[in-house]
Structure 1
Amino acid sequence: MSKRKTKDAQLPVGECITELQRILRERLCHQQLPDKPEGVEAQHKHLLELLKRTAVHGESNSVLIVGPRGAGKTMLLKCVLRDLLEEKEIQKNLLQVHLNGLLQTDDRIALKEITRQLHLENVVGDKVFGSFAENLAFLLEALKKGDRSSSRPVLFILDEFDLFAHHKNQTLLYNLFDVSQSAQAPIAVIGITCRLDVLELLEKRVKSRFSHRQIHLLSSLTFDQYLDQVQTQLGLPDDFPDTVFAEDWNDSIKTLCEDKSVEEVLQRHFNSSKDFRSMQMLLMLCLSRVSVAKPAIKPADLLEASRLCFGDAKANMLHGLSILELCLIIAMKHLNDVYEGEPFNLQMVHNEFKKFLQRKSSSMYNFDQPVVMKAFEHLQQLELIRPADGSSAKQQREYQLMRLMVDNSQIMEALQKYPQCPTDVKQWAMSAFG
């Protein structure tokens, strides 16, 4: 009887919402790993077997995981590592080094990071090495076990692998592949990249040492599977403390996904990106609107979240400009219309602005040349304008050719939302002539 009571026990709504937010935020923000990665079972099996051969049998190898952004490359690798480290012996013995091409921008920084992650700073000390190869060989030698007969296996995971190919002489890649081929120490080199032509970036000597083993991930997700994933991502688990609340919540999510307007929004997201991270961002924005007063996600929440996701950053930037800067943008818009997109300079923009002032015979917008130049420079800093290709930086600033980086629709949309925008400025923007 007592068991039944606890099972059917209803928690206060506030506690349910807090627990709901905790579970779903963990899933959406921390990208919780699935129990089994869907749609990539063959790739999962292949990679797991490959890494097991390094971790258990001391066999060296190299492999590339290739696929578009958001296809699940990192998720696949994390799932494989989780499954691999379930065995206590492997967990105790296996070492991992994670490098990222965006962070380790040259081989010296990469080597420092390898030393740090292998906890060998004290061993290296103040030793001076003649070359990168000597330094790496010393690090791997230092990992030998007490009997000095066998070395601990090391996984080198190179994220943004293609960026390592831009390092001088590709020394890091050459040495890692060389070690993996020559069986000096058991290492596995795993590259993660979204470039399909990554092998073309490798030098001959590096390419010849690479195993040419590639694992491709291509999103084969259909819209129905995408909808199922949305439902799964927002669903509450069976072990939720309040079963009645969980059932009601899951029913409301099912109803939400069947709504026509919601389906249209999700279809638009699916068409623009099948990336799970962008889906999770959308759902996270919906979840942030759930509260005790509104304990369910409504179609309007999804529409608002979608609007925020597809928000135009450049158009939003225009809302924060001063009236003078906005007037200069409108002058550039008219120059673009008249000269069919040809580049312009500050002098031309200022002349166009003066024409508007003469027509209005208003002293309200009269600004000195230095003030106008300052505003023009600010627009360049915001990257709303940029120097035209081939324009010389040595030219006088007034005559340096520039291009406008926002289009007419973005300007007109920003004007509609600009707080207390003067009517004559709006009319000037809408007029067909400057």
Structure 2
Amino acid sequence: MRPPPRPSSARAPASLREPRMQPMKPSAMSKRKLRESSGESAECISQVQKILRERFCRHCAAGRLFGMEQQHRHLLELLRRTTVHGESNSALLIGPRGSGKSALLNHVLKDLREMEQVRENLLEVHLNGLLQTNDSVALKEITRQLQLENVVGDKVFGSFAENLAFLLEALRKGDRSSSCPILFVLDEFDLFVHHKNQTLLYNLFDISQSAQTPVTVIGLTCRQDILELLEKRVKSRFSHRQIYLLNSFDFKQYMKIFKKQLSLPAEFPDESFAQKWNNNVQLLSEDRAVQGVLQSLFQHSKDLRSLHSLLMLACSAVTVHHPLLTAADLQEASRQHSTDSKANLVHGLSVLEICLIIAMKHLNEVYDGEPFNFQMVYNEFQKFIQRKAHSMYNFEKPVVMKAFEHLLQLELVQPLERPSARAQREFLLLRLLLDSSQIMDALQVYPNCPTDVKQWAASSLSWL
């Protein structure tokens, strides 16, 4: 007899077995959730970048004004009376660069456009002294911004005043009360002073005092003595309204500005992320490393433009994988922000040009900063070659002169006076525009700098 099969060892055929349940891969669900969460994070980061970039842009009126409340009220009332009551006027915004002149004006114009009484009843003409270098260019720009090219056509005018008067007459709608007011903004106002006979300023100020189209002229300048530069006839037609802007806050207020500028607003779409971001900003403000970075910047420059540049660099490091700012981000941004542009030029120089700069450095040390000439630099370089007995540095004098002229073109070396045609180049007095620390820092990161050149630069005495 055949023994019965042992059930313990017997297996059913593959076709008769119950289908085995395959467990769902956990990585699939986690990847899907990760994609969803990363999508939300990417949206949050995009919103953060947009809000902060608009806030840090000095021409944008999205951010807050600090310490300018009185000036804001004064300028807003001045322009409101122009737009609502048809009053003409003129004023100057005076303050150092970075004090917020453009930001103040942009905030005032933004607030003005939001008033119900204005309703876009104000024409704006923005001129810049760096672009409109003479009165004819300025007049063409005024015509373009007022969209009067077709009205002017091929007409010929006898003078600048007639041309400007024709433009303003074309905009009139009857009497003074119903005419559309015009705001002229003159950025870099002190450069318009150098126009021939100050004709543009004279006519604008003259119109702002006459019973014609309502016109207000606002000038922005960093010159404190601007009134002394105006001609007598121009000064007599100016209203002498001057609004001064100064950064008068201390370091405590500076830290508060830092927190407010980095904090997200209450209306941010993702409340939990905004809360996490703002808590992180508070922790950053209490961090000693961050305070050290801000203290160094505050001592160097109190203007908010520098702070905005620093924060813009730091916020560029914010990504989906790095959603919150750290003290290291601000330290790296500070390093980039304070990078010396002249020292960076040294990184692209040849070894011969580096040697000439080191020779000038030693001449400054030996002669206590007195000016030098090419012949002195060449002799110093020759001493180094003889000391080291290196044939690789033994260039002919015309080649060395060519390298020296390249340093002059890069403005790393500056002549004391304008060279004449008869002056010998070898004996022209010069001054080095790099100090010893800048040269040594640049040599530390110079790629493949020869060791003996570094040693020569580090020596405190010249090769006598």
**TM-score interval, smaller chain:** over 0.9
Q: CA deviation at 1:356?
A: 1.0
- Give the match for residue 246 of structure 1: 274
* Alignment equivalent of 2:227, drawn from 190, 193, 199: 199
SS of 1:122's partner is helix
- Give the match for residue 377 of structure 1: 405
Residue 231 in 1 paired to residue 272 in 2? no
The separation in 2 between residues aligned to 1:340 and 1:392, in whole angstroms, is 27
More deviation, 390-399/217-226: 390-399
Cα 1:393/1:165, change in 2 over 3 Å: same
Residue 401 in 1 paired to residue 429 in 2? yes
* Alignment equivalent of 2:189, drawn from 147, 151, 161: 161
Q: After TM superposition, what 4+ stretches of structure 1 lie above 4 angstroms from structure 2?
A: 146-150
**Contact 1:71–1:219, Cα closer than 8 Å, also in 2:** yes
Q: Which runs of 5+ in 2 are unaligned?
A: 1-35
Q: CA deviation at 1:365?
A: 1.0
**Contact 1:63–1:211, Cα closer than 8 Å, also in 2:** yes
The separation in 2 between residues aligned to 1:216 and 1:149, in whole angstroms, is 31
**Contact 2:58–2:305, Cα closer than 8 Å, also in 1:** no
Residue 124 in 1 paired to residue 152 in 2? yes
Q: CA deviation at 1:235?
A: 1.4
Provide the identity percentage.
Answer: 66
**Contact 1:393–1:400, Cα closer than 8 Å, also in 2:** no
- Give the match for residue 416 of structure 1: 444
Cα 1:227/1:45, change in 2 over 3 Å: same
User: Highest Rg: 1 or 2?
Assistant: 2
1:16-415, aligned counterparts within 5 Å? Answer: 16-29=44-57, 32-34=60-62, 37-87=65-115, 90-145=118-173, 150-389=178-417, 391-415=419-443
Q: CA deviation at 1:165?
A: 0.9
More deviation, 337-346/120-129: 337-346
SS of 2:285's partner is helix
SS of 1:208's partner is helix
**Contact 1:170–1:203, Cα closer than 8 Å, also in 2:** yes
SS of 2:125's partner is strand
- Give the match for residue 6 of structure 1: none
The separation in 1 between residues aligned to 2:353 and 2:89, in whole angstroms, is 58
**Contact 2:132–2:138, Cα closer than 8 Å, also in 1:** yes
- Give the match for residue 462 of structure 2: 433
> Given residue 410 of structure 1, which amino acid in structure 2 is its aligned partner?
Q
Cα 1:420/1:58, change in 2 over 3 Å: same
> Given residue 433 of structure 1, which amino acid in structure 2 is its aligned partner?
S
The separation in 2 between residues aligned to 1:430 and 1:40, in whole angstroms, is 49
> Given residue 197 of structure 1, which amino acid in structure 2 is its aligned partner?
D
Q: CA deviation at 1:146?
A: 6.5
- Give the match for residue 22 of structure 2: none
The separation in 2 between residues aligned to 1:279 and 1:38, in whole angstroms, is 13
> Given residue 395 of structure 1, which amino acid in structure 2 is its aligned partner?
A
> Given residue 115 of structure 1, which amino acid in structure 2 is its aligned partner?
T
- For normalisation by structure 1, the TM-score amounts to 0.93
Q: CA deviation at 1:214?
A: 1.1
Q: CA deviation at 1:111?
A: 0.8
Deviations 1:217-256 (A, max 9, x none): 2222222221122112211222333222221111111101
More deviation, 221-230/258-267: 221-230
- Give the match for residue 30 of structure 2: none
The separation in 1 between residues aligned to 2:300 and 2:58, in whole angstroms, is 23
- Give the match for residue 5 of structure 1: none
SS of 1:241's partner is coil
Cα 1:400/1:38, change in 2 over 3 Å: closer
More deviation, 344-353/386-395: 386-395
The separation in 1 between residues aligned to 2:58 and 2:74, in whole angstroms, is 26
The separation in 2 between residues aligned to 1:207 and 1:31, in whole angstroms, is 29
The separation in 2 between residues aligned to 1:121 and 1:42, in whole angstroms, is 39
Q: CA deviation at 1:110?
A: 0.7
- Give the match for residue 4 of structure 2: none
Cα 1:148/1:329, change in 2 over 3 Å: closer
Cα 1:340/1:127, change in 2 over 3 Å: same
Q: CA deviation at 1:393?
A: 4.7
Q: CA deviation at 1:195?
A: 1.3
Q: CA deviation at 1:88?
A: 5.3
The separation in 2 between residues aligned to 1:311 and 1:419, in whole angstroms, is 17
The separation in 1 between residues aligned to 2:274 and 2:449, in whole angstroms, is 49
The separation in 2 between residues aligned to 1:38 and 1:411, in whole angstroms, is 39
Deviations 1:95-142 (A, max 9, x none): 111111111111111111111111111111111111111111111111
The separation in 2 between residues aligned to 1:354 and 1:178, in whole angstroms, is 67
RMSD: 2.1
The separation in 2 between residues aligned to 1:350 and 1:104, in whole angstroms, is 46
> Given residue 448 of structure 2, which amino acid in structure 1 is its aligned partner?
Q
